[in-house]
Every structure is written in C-alpha cells, then in structure tokens.
Structure 1
C-alpha cells in the first residue's frame, strides 16, 4: 500500500513539486477507488428492490402473527384484566 501512495518520481525536486506530485497521486488513488466501487455497484442493479420486498414480506408476516396472538381470547382477557385493575386502582 505504501508503494501506491509514495510516487517514485519524488526523490528530487523542491518541496512544492513534491507536494504537487503527492496531491496528484492522491487524486489518482481516489478516482481509482471510486471507479472500482461504481463498477461493483453496477453489477448489483435491482438488488435493493428485492431486499426491500423480502423485508416488507417479513414485516407483514410478523404483524399478522402478532395480530393473531393479541386477538386471541386468552390475551384479550389478560389485557382487559390488567387495564381494569389499572383503572380501578386506589
């Protein structure tokens, strides 16, 4: 990694010239990294839509299961009992 960040042509010259070479090399490294990220992201086109669909389906299934549990007679009776005791507490 150090070989990529240190230009070999910097051995001589003024400090200003070396600073320009380091900035140029830094911009080159950033462009190369961005190009690789964009190329990799292009191959997954449409994946986020599928992930959202699976997440939405899972959330709906969880909501349906919770609805069934909460509307069962045992849970409704327990919730009613808790609310009744809370409202009539002295």
Structure 2
C-alpha cells in the first residue's frame, strides 16, 4: 500500500474512534449500560 492509503486508513480509524467516543459518552448510553450492569448484579446475588 502507498502512503496515501495508510493516511486514509488512519483518518478513517480516527473518525470511527471519535464516533464511538461520542456515542459511548452520551448520557443515554451511559444510563442504559449502568442499568444493565445493576440489573445483572442484582440477579446474581
């Protein structure tokens, strides 16, 4: 692969990481994950 392809792949990976960061740090997702974890711990004991 050429340098341009590596650069494009790096930019795409960074963009994907930024989208995941925004999604996972949103309050709605955080509340949902917290609720799921709390429910799972209550079922176990």
Fold shared per TM-score above 0.5: yes
TM-score normalised per structure 2: 0.88
Rg (Cα) greater in structure: 1
The 4+ residue runs of structure 1 with deviation greater than 3 A are none
TM-score normalised per structure 1: 0.46
Number of equivalenced pairs: 44
**CA root-mean-square deviation:** 1.2
- Please, which runs of 5 or more residues in structure 2 have no aligned partner? none
Structure with greater helix percent: 2
- Please, which runs of 5 or more residues in structure 1 have no aligned partner? 1-46
